[in-house]
Structure 1
Amino acid sequence: MKIADLISWFEAWANPAWCESWDNCGWQIEPGVLQEPARVLVCLTPTLAVMQEAIAVNANLIFAHHPLIFSPLKSLCGGEAIADMAKLAFTHNIGVYTAHTNFDQVDDGTADVLAQILKLQEVAPIVLTQGGLGYGRVGLLEPFLTLQELLTTIQARLAPPNLIFSPTADLQQKISRVAVLGGSGASYISAVVKTGAQAYLTSDCKFHQFQESRDRGLILIDAGHYATERPACDRLVQKFRSLNLDWVELSQEDEDFRQFFQ
């Protein structure tokens, strides 16, 4: 399958027109690879390390969740990460394509994969956008779990380096309804409360957002940005493999950008 055909297939599923006005979905760098057979390296975040990996494995497309170019550029200077990536992309004929907030909304996107990992039932979006799709997912745990069991399950299935949760007096509280949203989801706390969820798995939550959730009767669980979004990248690799591409793999150079002192 040619890269142009792969992108057409993807955009029919996760239309880049659905991305938010502040976002930057679609082609970040297209050095003239559209008619090439697709050799795809999927990653969460496009970095110089991922570009070097793409060069090493002879990939011609980096398919990323996070945008490479987020704010309008005023210059490109050697020694800066984006400029160096652009130089390498054109030198080695490697495209960089991003699916961000459009990928967040769809079935088998970032939130939906989290819901599947937790085996939620009767799943619906936290906030509807179009055609039954939307941001986040909320559903039922069957069977119910205690909070302790839910936290243990999240730790086992997502392997976050640090799992943070709201203060609670009872780890044996039964949890039946859970909301999930990969990446930075604290701005959806009010919407989650309206769904009747008892616990909300997301990331990048601040001190006062934990306070707000506690005061509103919602258990906030922060598993980190990387741990909550990387699984959807793995799912994307599986979907691409079903298309019989020349080559597709998940990046081994993706970074969490954080370390925790033990």
Structure 2
Amino acid sequence: MQLRKVSNYLLNKYPLNLAEIWDPCGFNVKFNLSEKIKAVVCAIDLTQEVLQLAIEKEANLIILHHPFKFAKTWQEEFILAPYKKQILTILKQKRINVLALHTNYDNHTQGTSHQIASQLGLEALIYNQNNLYPSILKFPISVKQLQHLFKQKLNITAMRTNVIDLDKKFNKVAILSGSGPSTLAYELCQNDTELIITSDIKWNEWILYQQHNIKILEISHLDEQVFAFDIVNQLQQNFANLNVYQYNFKELYQNL
């Protein structure tokens, strides 16, 4: 089977026109897609460890959530992330293709926020809305209950919140996978959303949330690992003889 059969399946389901204008998703490293696909590795990011798994499994396609190349040129990318230079050299030597499905996946009807809710066992509580990126849950639930679910289901322990009463029930909760825009969090809370779940909040955003009494549960960006689980599952279901592997990241920091 050719490499393009798998990439066409994914890019037809998650077309690049769903991506945000700033997002360089798609192929970050590409060779001849007519070549036979050997194996696939899925992960949220490309590190030395992910590359080593691909080499061990003789994979010639790595599927990522976060693009491996964000800058306009590789020279700029290497300044921002020097470790990538060695990885790119090996990718070229081994002819390993790298495909990123980022905001084109996030903005799908069953994208990252939806997958988080699903992995938490809350999929049936999703309330459909026009914006496909967030998942809105309509069900009374507390921060303490959510904290337990994230620990149990997604192995996420690093969390922060501005909610004082952890047992208080919130009736409408929005999951904004990854680093959710503060503008969207504000807009949702102007429309009766009572709690926002997201990641990577900056100080100026905490000020915004404090000033507008917006309640937040901040979780680590590891929440997006549901992407790799979902893609592995889809590929295994649609390509029976394809060897597909997932690299699971652990939290890279802990709250003291």
TM-score relative to the length of structure 2: 0.87
Indicate the SS of the match to 1:53.
helix
Which has the larger share of strand? 1
Residue in structure 2 matched with residue 164 of structure 1 by the alignment: 160
Q: Are positions 1:259 and 2:249 aligned together?
A: no
Q: Between Structure 1 and Structure 2, how many residues are aligned?
A: 249
Residue in structure 2 matched with residue 90 of structure 1 by the alignment: 92
CA contact (8 A) 2:158 2:255 kept: no
CA contact (8 A) 1:186 1:203 kept: no
CA contact (8 A) 1:123 1:137 kept: yes
What is the alpha-carbon distance in structure 2 between the residues aligned to residue 261 and residue 149 of structure 1? Answer: 19
Q: CA deviation at 1:255?
A: 5.8
Identity %: 20
What is the alpha-carbon distance in structure 1 between the residues aligned to residue 34 and residue 216 of structure 2? Answer: 43
CA contact (8 A) 2:126 2:135 kept: no
The RMSD of aligned alpha carbons is 2.3
Residue in structure 1 matched with residue 135 of structure 2 by the alignment: 137
Indicate the SS of the match to 2:144.
helix
- Equivalent residue for 2:194, pick from 198, 206, 210: 198
CA contact (8 A) 1:28 1:69 kept: yes
Unaligned 5+ segments in structure 2 are none
Letter in 2 for 1:151: Q
Q: CA deviation at 1:38?
A: 4.9
Q: 1:261 to 1:209 in 2, by over 3 A?
A: closer
Indicate the SS of the match to 1:259.
coil
Q: 1:220 to 1:194 in 2, by over 3 A?
A: same
Structure 1 stretches of 4+ moved >6 Å: none
Unaligned 5+ segments in structure 1 are 129-133
What is the alpha-carbon distance in structure 1 between the residues aligned to residue 175 and residue 19 of structure 2? Answer: 19
CA contact (8 A) 2:178 2:200 kept: yes
CA contact (8 A) 1:39 1:245 kept: no
TM-score relative to the length of structure 1: 0.85
Deviations 1:153-199 (A, max 9, x none): 2332222231111142x333222211001111142221221342211
Q: 1:71 to 1:112 in 2, by over 3 A?
A: same
What is the alpha-carbon distance in structure 2 between the residues aligned to residue 80 and residue 34 of structure 1? Answer: 31
What is the alpha-carbon distance in structure 1 between the residues aligned to residue 141 and residue 21 of structure 2? Answer: 39
Q: CA deviation at 1:32?
A: 2.2
Indicate the SS of the match to 2:175.
strand
